[in-house]
Amino acid sequence: MCAPSRPVKQGIYSMSWVAFRYHVGTAAFGSLIIAIVQLIRAFVAYVQAKLTSMSASQHSSVAEAATLLTCCCACCLWVLEKVLKFVSNNAYTHTAIYGTGFGKSCVSAWTVVATNMTTITTLGLLNNVTMFITKLWIVGGTMLAAFYTLQYYYATQLWSIYGICVVTGFLAYGVAAAVCEVFECGTRTICYFVDEDASFCPRELKAFYEQDKDNATEVDNEDGVEVNRKG
């Protein structure tokens, strides 16, 4: 009964060693780029606050123009940070699958995103809705369970149980966010597995994807035939 657990442990240890040996630098480099952009954003925000106070006190047109310019720079930096985070997350997924470097993973990840834009957008929207409902159920269910449990066992011993329920809700939200982040990483990985160029796709998932694509093609062909008949 204990024999199957040994290869699993060896696999976990070997994967951990590969991730620590080869992929820590990739994660650190991506985080460094985002940290540099955030540092520049903080500096621009500081300059923007100084210029805003200067324009409010002196009513200078030069200060107002500089404030407007810093606002534009702050907006562009915010967009750049969001884009870098999105590309970095997909690059990490590509690195985990193929073991390539950060630069090559960014290029390949962007190619996959551009090729499967509709699939990734739809999957992202469904993932956001699903994760929101999941977090809501986890937090709400945990708070309700804590409330009824405390009310049943410790109603006469506690001064108020609402504060404990609120703290429990915050803890539950932290756990739910961590779990949902794992599921989000899994759904993002599926986007690479359903890509036609992915060679590590499991047979079951590849068969499901090809069947779904064939069904979609048949529906499009039937719609085209109906349109031609009506025309």
Residues 108 and 121 in one domain: no
Residues 56 and 120 in one domain: no
- What was the pLDDT predicted at 36? 92
Give the predicted TM-score (pTM) of the model.
0.60
Q: Is 46 a member of any domain?
A: yes
What's the domain range around 93? 5-113
Reported as a pLDDT band with limits 50, 70 and 90, residue 164 is confident
d(CA 165, CA 139): 10
d(CA 189, CA 182): 11
Please state the domain count of the chain. 2
Span 90-149, pLDDT tens digits:
888 778 777 778 888 888 878 877 777 777 777 778 888 888 898 899 999 999 998 888
Cα distances from 173 to residues 129, 132, 133, 138, 139, in angstroms, run 16, 11, 12, 7, 6
Contact 30, 88 (CB under 8 A): yes
Contact 188, 93 (CB under 8 A): yes
Boundary of a domain, candidates 74, 98, 113: 113
Q: What is the DSSP string of 135-197?
A: HHHHHHHHHHHHHHHHHHHSTTT-S-SHHHHHHHHHHHHHHHHHHHHHHHHHHHHHHHHSSTT
Residues 108 and 128 in one domain: no
Boundary of a domain, candidates 92, 113, 134: 113
